[in-house]
Structure 1
Amino acid sequence: MEDKINQTQKDHGSLLQAIGTQKLVAIIALVVLFLFFWFFGENFAKYSTIISILDSSYYIGFMAIGVTFVIITGGIDLSIGTSCICCSLITGTLFTKAGLPMPVCVVLAVLLGGLFGLANGIMVSVMKLPAFIATLGTMMITRGLGSIVTNTATVTFPQATASGGAFRSLFKLKAPGLPQAGIPTGFILLIILAVAMAVLLNKTRPGRYILSLGSNKEATRLSGVDVMKYETLAFVISGLFAGLAGVSYAAVYSTLMPGTGNGFELDAIAGVVIGGTSLAGGVGSIAGTLIGVFIMAVLKTGLPFIGVQPHYQLLITGFVLVIAVFVDVLNRRKQGKA
């Protein structure tokens, strides 16, 4: 069984090499973008700007890490954006209305995200619904659920110095004697979890099986692998990280509005694809995903510094995504995979 899995992955060796080249291009693009804004963006070259880039990358980064596992299987998860906000809305309401301790709320938010991911996994792997439809349904459910639980009222999380606000130090540490913009502890957490997930994906049996699902699902099944189990696991991981993304979003932006979160998933998926993960499945890396996320964050933060209006930011980001997907398609055509 292991030999068959290994052979399936070896068949994609040349494609992996091509994707590696795409990752290198992404790294160069990230450096060039940052230097461009550094030299031509008015007031961009500040410590506070770096913090702004990191602040805007945490929630997208966590969602992107999670959804990488789903995309590698050849699936998609459109629910992570609304799940992210829904998890924080529900747990924030439990904190403000029911007096639930904030540490419990943080853990509950992550577990609730995992529950949404489990529901997606069951619909896709057991009920055989298309991932697009299943996760689109979950997107609508979580968007509505957040509004119902909060009665359409905004939820405000406590400041760092207030009771229950200590969780913010997970993402930004502020104290007398430190820079006013704070210390980006969230970046450390993001890197630690990214390394852990990279090890899971590349060095463990579940990760290898998830990769093989995207390479050749039928061959993986015939090799004796429980396809439903590992496909569901990929969605659970995506959900858990969506819940964590909700915590980071609440820590950075404080106030959450019901009915929001739509579009977050597109930023996360764009980061994954720009980082070299193939939408056709079977190929991808967590390192590439982080690179793609930071490209998105630098674009989002840097464009206003050169006078580009918000609606043009979406236009430019869209072009970047289309180019990344086109490069993936060309790579697969060259290897006879498309």
Structure 2
Amino acid sequence: MNSKLKRICSNQQAVVVCALVVICIVFSLMTDKFLQPTTFTNIAKSAYYIAFMAIGVTFVIATGGIDLSIGTVAICSALIGGTLMEKGLPMVLVLLVILATGCAFGLLNGLMVSKLELPAFIATLGTMMMSRGLGSIVSKTKTISFPQGEQPGAWFRELFMITRADSFLPRNFPTGFVLLAITVFIMALLLGRTKIGRYILSIGSNKEATRLSGIPVAKYETIAYVLSGFFASLAGIAYVAVFSTAQPNTGNGFELDAIAGVVIGGTSLAGGVGSVFGTIVGVFIMTVLKIGFPYIGVQSHYQLFITGIILVFAVYMDILNRKRKG
């Protein structure tokens, strides 16, 4: 491989940003429907819950681990909270229960991986099954509908999308972009500028050396999984805020979109390298493809094929980058 391509591959984040810009330009040139307000609303609706899951699992992947449970944990958390809502629990407490449920699953994953030393793939695969089953048990396999419009408790939806006609912002305005931007900024600082982030990246780079240096590896590995669980439950809130319902036996596959976004964004599956900003760009690449294809007459399932190609290329760039660094 020539040196020019190696230099390109060494800066994967710059590549994915350029790729997102190019994709948007191509869709804009191919159809005038793409640059419409409804397009960006649809992109927001499709990206919110995947983006929050991806932010959390970035920390796990940075340790060299994986979390396959985030999709089902997101829906399970929403189903548990929604069931309590139907029993009369105030919406504020419902949201807290949802977040606590995600953290509990994250803690379980972290303890199984760090204390019991189970392979992350197996531990989180088991949690994926447990959370999927628990959501069905608690909800008694029925769909849970969350408040809409002027119904009591519907206010939480305004955090992600303006739905009320009397708001000072236009209806369907994606307020969640503000929440997402703030979250990305905070979590990027956490990963890149704090002790927690440095230790998490150190675990991914060389777990044994990190342990020998006196760092409590189990503690920070567990923290990474708790963060993943917390953001999975936040994704569950975003999902029901946008789509209004949570259905049992769903959520499978969400984790694949989130993990793909993380890897495409430059976080290494081998651990030790992570970027929250890159993760968000990776998620939006997939979302723009999903929304843009139908506008040009291409069936949306082609997104899976192209995302697969992008994912393989992203992993290949990571391998080349690691070889270059020795």
Q: TM class, shorter-chain normalised?
A: over 0.9
Number of the residue aligned with 1:268? 258
**1:321 has 2:304 as partner:** no
List, as ranges, runs of 4+ consecutive aligned residues in structure 1 with deviation greater than 6 Å: 17-20
Number of the residue aligned with 2:176? 186
Q: After superposition, what is the alpha-carbon deviation per residue over 1:146-191, rounded to whole angstroms, capped at 9, x for unaligned?
A: 1111111111111032111100001012434767652211010011
**1:238 has 2:228 as partner:** yes
Instruction: Give, in whole Å, the separation in 1 of the partners of 2:291 and 2:120.
Output: 32
| Cα deviation, residue 330, structure 1 | 1.6
Q: Paired residue for 2:322, among 316, 329, 332?
A: 332
- Map 1:205-220; keep pairs closer than 5 Å: 205-220=195-210
**1:23 has 2:13 as partner:** yes
Q: Which amino acid aligns with 1:160?
A: G
**1:279 has 2:279 as partner:** no
Q: Which amino acid aligns with 2:155?
A: A
- Aligned residue pairs, count: 319
Number of the residue aligned with 1:101? 90
Q: After superposition, what is the alpha-carbon deviation per residue over 1:127-158, rounded to whole angstroms, capped at 9, x for unaligned?
A: 00000000000000001111111111111111
Q: Is the CA contact 2:114–2:222 (under 8 Å) kept in the aligned structure 1?
A: yes
| Cα deviation, residue 42, structure 1 | 5.2
Instruction: Give, in whole Å, the separation in 2 of the partners of 1:156 and 1:210.
Output: 38
Instruction: Give, in whole Å, the separation in 2 of the partners of 1:18 and 1:38.
Output: 26
Q: Is the CA contact 2:83–2:139 (under 8 Å) kept in the aligned structure 1?
A: yes
Q: What is the DSSP-based 3-state SS (H/G/I as helix, E as strand, rest coil) of the residue aligned with 1:310?
A: coil
The runs of 5 or more residues in structure 1 that have no matched partner are 1-16
- Map 1:1-338; keep pairs closer than 5 Å: 21-41=11-31, 43-96=33-86, 98-174=87-163, 175-176=165-166, 181-336=171-326
Q: Sequence identity of aligned pairs in percent?
A: 60
Q: After superposition, what is the alpha-carbon deviation per residue over 1:11-58, rounded to whole angstroms, capped at 9, x for unaligned?
A: xxxxxx987611001000000111111121352220111111111111
TM-score normalised by the chain length of structure 2: 0.95
TM-score normalised by the chain length of structure 1: 0.91
Q: After superposition, what is the alpha-carbon deviation per residue over 1:210-244, rounded to whole angstroms, capped at 9, x for unaligned?
A: 11000111111001000000000000000000000
Q: After superposition, what is the alpha-carbon deviation per residue over 1:92-147, rounded to whole angstroms, capped at 9, x for unaligned?
A: 11101x11111111111111101000000000000000000000000000011111
Measured at CA, do residues 111 and 18 of structure 1 come closer, stay the same or move farther in structure 2, by a change above 3 Å?
A: farther
Number of the residue aligned with 2:4? none
Q: Is the CA contact 1:160–1:167 (under 8 Å) kept in the aligned structure 2?
A: no
The runs of 5 or more residues in structure 2 that have no matched partner are 1-6
Instruction: Give, in whole Å, the separation in 2 of the partners of 1:316 and 1:261.
Output: 22
